[in-house]
A and B are shown apart, each in its own frame.
Chain A
Amino acid sequence: DIQMTQSPSSLSASVGDSVTITCRASQSISGYLNWYQHKPGRAPKLLISAASSLQSGVPSRFSGSGSGTDFTLTISGLQPEDFATFYCQQSYTTPWTFGQGTKVEIK
């Protein structure tokens, strides 16, 4: 299975800050990388697919980049509604696997 490793596992930030979450795959996955936002008790939400393709309706402050084994999710100007846990997921080969999550908390 392809192992996905996210860092950091948690971070504290203030409204307006820019934050970057990294995701590393145990082997090259080309651009087959998705990012999700998950709030407690809610359905996870797809933010970005194919490493950098922003889903319809997702604010442009979210952006993704990377290819091969290293990927990043950047939130430029955190908003109160952005505090959540973020997961990366590879869709290169089954079984699909997720990173362990990065919890973004309010400082």
Chain B
Amino acid sequence: QVQLQESGPGLVKPSQTLALTCTVSGGAIASGSFYWSWIRQPAGKGLEWIGRVYTSGSTNYNPSFKGRVTISVDTSKNQFSLKLRSVTAADTAVFYCARETRDGTPNSFDIWGQGTMVTVSS
């Protein structure tokens, strides 16, 4: 059974780079027809898709992040990562990693991590 687990600092200073890693267990990240996505949820707000990576390294990002985001994959470690640059307090949120299906049916996020809280504060 595939499981995802987010890890990374819980506190980041304004203007710095937020960096998180998602470790995939119970299956190879490079197998199957999946994208690997990051999603966040600010306190009291809804879910926001940040972007995704395929095992080839190709990416798609939400334009609302205005070029601040990079998502990468390391198949040797069975991990994928998020970097969000120039953070402000508005980036404080719970960050989730999720597996996104791409098997010809409408895409969906079928497996999620439990989420990790990241606070942006000096």
Contacts and interface: CB of A to CB of B under 8 A. Distances in A.
Interface of A: 1, 31-34, 36, 41-46, 49-50, 53, 55, 87, 89, 91-92, 94-101
A7 to B, nearest CB: 14
Contacts of A43: 4, 96, 111-115
- 3 tightest A-B CB contacts, nearest first: A43-B112, A95-B62, A98-B47
B106 A49 contact: yes
Nearest to A50: B106
Contacts of B62: 94-95
Given A87-B46, A97-B49, A41 B106 contact: no
Binding site of A, secondary structure by majority: helix, strand, loop or mixed? loop
B27 to A, nearest CB: 16
Given A46-B108, A91-B107, 15 more contacts: A1-B64, A32-B106, A43-B4, A44-B47, A44-B96, A44-B112, A46-B109, A49-B106, A49-B108, A50-B105, A92-B106, A94-B60, A95-B63, A98-B47, A98-B48
A95 B106 contact: no
Binding site of B, secondary structure by majority: helix, strand, loop or mixed? mixed
Interface in B85-118: 96, 98, 101, 105-115
A46 B47 CA distance: 14
A53 B105 CA distance: 10
A49 to B, nearest CB: 4
25 contacts: A31-B106, A32-B106, A34-B106, A41-B114, A42-B114, A43-B96, A43-B111, A43-B112, A43-B113, A44-B98, A46-B109, A49-B106, A49-B110, A50-B106, A50-B108, A87-B47, A89-B47, A89-B108, A91-B107, A92-B106, A94-B60, A98-B47, A98-B48, A99-B46, A100-B46
Contacts of B45: 100
Contacts of B63: 95
Contacts of A95: 49, 62-64
